[in-house]
Amino acid sequence: MAASLGFGGSNAADKTSATVGQSAAQPSYQGPAQMLDDHRLTPASISSLEVHGATNTRRSLLDHVLKPVVEDSAHAGTTLGQVLEHVGAATKKLARFDIFKEEGFGVFLSEAPRPDSALPTDRTELDISIRVKEKSRLVFSAGTDFGNAEGSAYTNAVARNIFGGAETLSVNASTGTRTRSAYNATLSTPVNGNPDLRLAVEALRSATQKPWASHEEQLTGGNLRLAWLTENSDSHALAYSTVWRQLTSLAATASPTVRADAGDSLKSSLTHTFTRDRRDSPMLPQSGYLLRTVSELAGWGPLNGDVSFAKTEVEASGAVPVAIPGLAAQSGVSVGGGLRLGLLYPLPSGYSLSGAAQPSRINDRFQLGGPTDVRGFKLGGIGPHDGIDSVGGDVFAAGSVNALFPLPRTGPESPLRLQLFANAGRLVALNSKGKAKEGREGLAMDSATVFKGVKSAVGELTNGLPSLAAGVGLVYAHPVARFELNFSLPLVLRRGEEGRKGLQIGVGIKFL
Amino acid sequence: MTSIPPTAPSSWRKMQIPRPLQQLFDRFPLLTYEANNLPERSQHLTSSDLPTLYVFSTDRDAGLGLPSFNPGCLKWQTLLRLAGLEFRILPSTNHASPTGSLPFLLPPRRRNTTTSSATPPPPRPIPASNLLAYALQQQRQQQTPSLDFDLDPDLPPRSQAYLSLITLSLRNAWLHALYLDPSHTPLLEQLYIRPSSSSRAVQATLLYQLRRAAAEQISSSSNKIVSIATVDAVDEEEAVYAAAREALAALASLLRESGSGWFFGAERPGAFDAALFSYTHLMMEYMSSSGEGSVEGAGGVALGDMVRAAGDGGLARHRESMLEAAWPGWDASK
């Protein structure tokens, strides 16, 4: 019902109650909507607009959102329906600041008392009052988290609306199965009173074990990030980050490749991330698609730093529900697929494009394989291996197809599915095969060698069948994370790659 | 292992996988291709035909096989050269070492000579303490009769007392001069800081960490507290350098007593000679008040001059002889 008034959409707005004062219409509660429907085309304008309950919020922030509402409604031809739409849009916008309680929104309309001296008009003058409840400004929480292939425990403190402009400071400390320790603090603020355009600055420090390559990586750094949502709810983020990486605490069995990359490096990079998520559910997508691109430029030009490359990754996945003939309701059966591609191109440092470039390090290269990635392989199981270490590659392609079936007893509504899948991947490292070694003193490669290397690595992707595994399993889509228990067998492998025969458990929020 | 569920309780592990399942597993993968190539950086850095000694060095020096600028590394580099082992050196960091400090040695990768399917596992690193054993074993394997050269890693018993002159007094003086003496900051940065990262912030952090570690080392080995703040550092400093001067004098007279030109009357330079050389060479190379590699205009301690003065130049001549023995054709001007 509310939706017909233009209040639909976000959770907060769904709960918004539109109540119209006595002076405007019938007092009965079910009446207003109908009355409003009848009067949608009545000319109307806003006489006053008040916000109650935003005691800690700066007026300028509210002005950014509400001034346009008043101004837009000042035109002669404005109808009641339009006014309500504007107010509805504004409350939705307020809700996106994440400083007001979702259930606390209330919008009240009443006809402004007309001074006796005023000329009678057929325009309805409205007094609008928006009631909000601010969320608590300081929140502490602790809990457990599931990232990809890792569980962790965290404590988190959030200070909301610090300066009254919907600024948020979030301080987080966590420790997990792989992350020995991680601390970060993020201060984020809407730009220009727009909740869909946020600027954030973050400082972070972490130590993460990388057992697939026998080392631990310690990160210390920060980033500055501008994120925005477009009209069609695509999200973009542009970030500058600088991070000091220290590859240390090598296992006794660490391979020569990992030893050669141990030590310090500073990455200074610009990253653009684009996400279009049109899936019905992120944990158990049964229809819709996801498109994601990540592009990173590190070290080149004014960025400096110790590593220099361009890196890009594209991910596309989608699912279509399968109707079963003769069954009117949703069958719960769906077929899905995903494709991921990535490329790292070493660049010369400085402003040159043709200068000598350093080949990639292990912490910049891609890893592929694992229960949430290419199933049927160990974590980092695909691609170049030095002994037991998965040392990563510069070019990769991975794809999967799967079919989801509801379990006989539970039906399509339940978050349980039976899954059939086949997935494949190929991860290749840039390698000049020592051709240019003679006459080359150091590690650096000239631009022609880099180009040839990348080209041959890309060509290598389609040399033979990709490393391939197939299997069957159970999927449980919990709102927090997706759990999979799969039985799979590797069909095609490269020597050194680590497939996993038999059962494999996957817990994560992102699956191929 | 691969066929057992990750959460299997330990009793499961002892259980045999049912035969039909095992037979099924054995059939997979259906197709196995050749191994992937290693990344370029790895290929370049780890696939030499020679054993590689990882030390503190610069790219240029490493390419030419010049002496490392780190006393610990230089000692072993010298010994391996004296032992006649053919090896190349690569610059590295302590993070890479299995012991947490350089040097260490990686034997060359074994070539896949047989047509068997398995790629040979990569070589395991050899820490400094096992380097001489490795060198001897290599000589035995290659049956190169250069075995006339016998390096005994076990020094004569009475040498232990003298060795502490090197490992405590000279080391403290070197650490103090290089890490804590502000006049050597440019040298410290050039040797240890700048190769790690081009970032100023990282360099500053590393510099601070290195200095703190050096101060701790000095205070723990001299049981005195050395503070980086210069308030009362003068006395401390004097104590450290006085100890070094005494140690050099004692070593010089020990060398004179020996008579053979090497310590303890040996016919050839040994481990003790290498240990002393690793400090005297670097002190003369990097910390002389004039001449080669000097720090211009710095008011720092000229440890190199101290070495030159010790025993009427006896230690300086010892250093020259060591260079000739381990780096024949060494040109002091590089």
Residues A44-95 pLDDT 10s: 888 888 899 888 888 888 988 888 888 887 777 788 888 888 888 888 888 8
**CA–CA gap between residue B225 and residue B112 (Å, rounded):** 55
Task: Give the 3-state secondary structure of residue B46.
Answer: helix
No. of H helices and E strands in chain A?
A: 6, 22
Task: Write the burial class of residue A381 (CB in 10 Å: 0-12 exposed, 13-18 middle, 19+ buried).
Answer: buried
All residues of chain A having their beta carbon less than 8 Å from the beta carbon of residue B28 are 489-491, 499, 501
Asked if A491 has any chain B CB less than 8 Å from its own CB, the reply is yes
Q: What is the least distance, in Å, from the CA of A422 to any CA of chain B?
A: 14
Q: Look at residues A335, A447, A468, A498 and name the one whose alpha carbon lies nearest to residue A399.
A: A468
**CA–CA gap between residue B11 and residue B2 (Å, rounded):** 16
Residue position matching structure tokens 């049927």: A376
The yes/no answer to whether this complex scores an ipTM above 0.85 is no
**CA–CA gap between residue A129 and residue A132 (Å, rounded):** 10
Task: Write the burial class of residue B329 (CB in 10 Å: 0-12 exposed, 13-18 middle, 19+ buried).
Answer: exposed
Report the 10 Å Cβ neighbour count for A186.
Answer: 18
Q: What is the pTM of this model?
A: 0.82
- Between B95 and B28, name the one with better pLDDT: B95
CB distance A336 to A320 below 8 Å: yes
- In A84-132, the DSSP E strands lie at 106-111, 124-131
- In chain B, the DSSP E strands lie at 31-33, 52-55, 88-91, 104-106, 126-127
**CA–CA gap between residue B273 and residue B15 (Å, rounded):** 59
Q: What is the least distance, in Å, from the CA of A83 to any CA of chain B?
A: 55
Q: Look at residues A93, A132, A128, A105 and name the one whose alpha carbon lies nearest to residue A2.
A: A105
Q: What is the least distance, in Å, from the CA of B44 to any CA of chain A?
A: 7
Q: Which helix (H) or strand (E) holds A259?
A: helix A256-261
Question: Binning pLDDT at 50, 70 and 90, where does residue B254 land?
Answer: confident
What is chain A's Cα-based Rg? 28
Q: Count contacts between A and B (CB, < 8 Å).
A: 199
Indicate the residue of A246, A391, A502 with minimum beta-carbon distance to B2.
A502
Contact criterion met (CB < 8 Å) for A505 and B6: yes
**CA–CA gap between residue A56 and residue B144 (Å, rounded):** 84
Task: Give the 3-state secondary structure of residue B62.
Answer: helix
User: How long, in residues, is chain A?
Assistant: 512
Q: For residue A123, how far is the Cα from the chain centroid?
A: 46
What are the residue ranges of helices labelled H in B147-262? 159-164, 171-175, 185-188, 200-222, 233-258
Residue of A259, A423, A489 to mutate for B, most B C-beta atoms under 10 A: A259
**CA–CA gap between residue A134 and residue A148 (Å, rounded):** 34
**CA–CA gap between residue A496 and residue B120 (Å, rounded):** 10
CB distance A100 to A132 below 8 Å: yes
Contacts of A144 (CB under 8 A, 6+ apart): A151, A152, A153, A154
Q: Look at residues A116, A1, A113 and name the one whose alpha carbon lies nearest to residue A48.
A: A113
Segment 360-389 of chain A within 8 Å of chain B by CB: 360-362, 365, 383-387
Indicate the residue of A257, A445, A465 with minimum beta-carbon distance to B42.
A257
Q: A147-156, B9-18, B31-40: which range is least confident on average?
A: B9-18
Q: Which helix (H) or strand (E) holds B284?
A: helix B271-286
Q: At what angle do helices B71-82 and B314-326 cross, to 10 degrees?
A: 60
Contact criterion met (CB < 8 Å) for A304 and B199: yes
CB distance A403 to A420 below 8 Å: yes
CB distance A508 to A372 below 8 Å: yes
Q: What is the pLDDT along chain A (512 residues), one digit of tens a residue?
A: 333 333 333 333 333 333 333 333 333 344 556 666 677 788 888 888 889 988 888 888 898 888 888 888 777 778 888 888 888 888 888 888 888 888 888 888 888 777 666 666 667 788 888 899 988 889 898 888 776 667 788 899 999 988 888 899 999 998 988 888 899 999 999 998 888 999 999 999 999 999 999 999 999 999 999 999 998 989 999 999 999 999 999 998 899 999 999 999 999 999 999 999 999 988 899 999 999 999 999 998 888 889 999 999 999 999 999 988 877 777 889 999 999 999 999 998 888 878 888 899 999 999 999 998 899 999 999 999 998 899 999 999 999 999 999 988 888 888 999 999 999 999 999 987 655 444 455 678 888 888 888 999 999 998 889 999 999 999 999 888 889 999 999 999 998 899 888 888 888 888 88
The first and second tokens of residue A298, run together, are: 């590190």
Asked if A493 has any chain B CB less than 8 Å from its own CB, the reply is yes
Q: For residue A463, how far is the Cα from the chain centroid?
A: 33
